[in-house]
């Protein structure tokens, strides 16, 4: 499930909360949502509710971060669940992506 909170849009921020599984089946919708906002506003991806994340999602996160930086904006991965944090650690992406774990 993807929930987009545009309430901070006037401040230049969009929060995209993901829940459930982020995999090859949900990635096209995620990519579409991110394409709509990346490069024009800062994007916060709230992953607290994500139970599973596969490599197709990691690719979307990395591509989105690159596009955000190219547009002078940021992509923040916020509150990743334990399984997602583990995946970031194992893949080495925790040092590549901007990941915040503070509540």
- Average pLDDT of the chain? 93
- CA 58 from centre of chain: 9
User: Which position has the higher pLDDT, 10 or 72?
Assistant: 72
| pLDDT score recorded for residue 103 | 58
Confidence band (pLDDT; 50, 70, 90) for 101?
A: confident
Task: Domain 2-100: give its CATH superfamily.
Answer: STAS domain (3.30.750.24)
For the segment 13-47, what is each residue's pLDDT rounded down to a tens digit? 999 999 999 999 999 999 999 999 999 999 999 99
| Rounded-to-integer distance, Cα 6 and Cα 100, Å | 20
pLDDT of residue 57: 95
Which two tokens mark 6?
Answer: 């545009």
- Hey, is 31 helix, strand or coil? helix
Q: Is the pTM of this model over 0.85?
A: yes
**Residue 21 CB partners (closer than 8 Å, separation 6+):** 50, 51, 52, 53
């Amino acid at each position: 499930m993807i929930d987009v909170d545009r309430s901070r849009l006037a401040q230049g921020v969009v929060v995209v909360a993901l829940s459930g599984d982020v995999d090859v089946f949900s990635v096209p919708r995620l990519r579409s949502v991110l394409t709509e906002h990346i490069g024009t506003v800062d994007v916060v991806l709230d992953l607290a509710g994500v139970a599973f994340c596969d490599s197709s999602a990691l690719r979307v996160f990395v591509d989105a971060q690159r596009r955000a930086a190219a547009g002078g904006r940021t992509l923040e991965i916020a509150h990743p669940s334990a399984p997602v944090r583990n995946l970031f650690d194992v893949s080495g992406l925790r040092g590549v992506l901007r990941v915040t774990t503070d509540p």
